[in-house]
Structure 1
Amino acid sequence: MNEKDMYTSKDIKGQTQAVPGKESKMDPEPLYDNVDNKGYGRLKGKTAIITGGDSGIGRAVAVAYAKEGCNVAIVYNIADGDANDTKGVIEGYGGRALLIKGDIGDSSFCNEIVDKTIKEYGALDILVNNAAEQHTQKKLEDITDEQLLRTFKTNIFAMFYLTRAALPHLKEGSAIINTSSITAFNGHADLLDYSSTKGAISAFTRSLSANLADKKIRVNQVAPGPIWTPLIPSSIEKENVKHFGKNTPMKRPGQPVELAEAYVFLATDGSSYMSGQTIHINGGMIVNC
Structure 2
Amino acid sequence: MISKSGQPSNKPPCGTAINLSLLRGPAMAIRMDFADYEAEGVQHQHPQGQLILALHGAVTCRAESGVWIVPPDCGVWIPGGVPHSNQVTSNARLTYLFVEPGAAMLPAECCTLSVSPMLREMIHRVADLPGNQTRDTHVDRLVRVMLDELALMPRERLELPVSDHPKIAVIAAALLADPSDRRTLGQWAEHVAVSERSLKRLMVQETGLSFGRWRRQLHLVIALRELAGGATVQQVAGDLGYESTTAFIVMFRKALGTTPSRYFADRLLRAERARSDTNEHR
TM-score under structure 2 length normalisation: 0.28
User: Which structure has the greater CA radius of gyration?
Assistant: 2
TM-score under structure 1 length normalisation: 0.28
Where relative contact order (Cα < 8 A, 6+ residues apart) is larger, the structure is 1
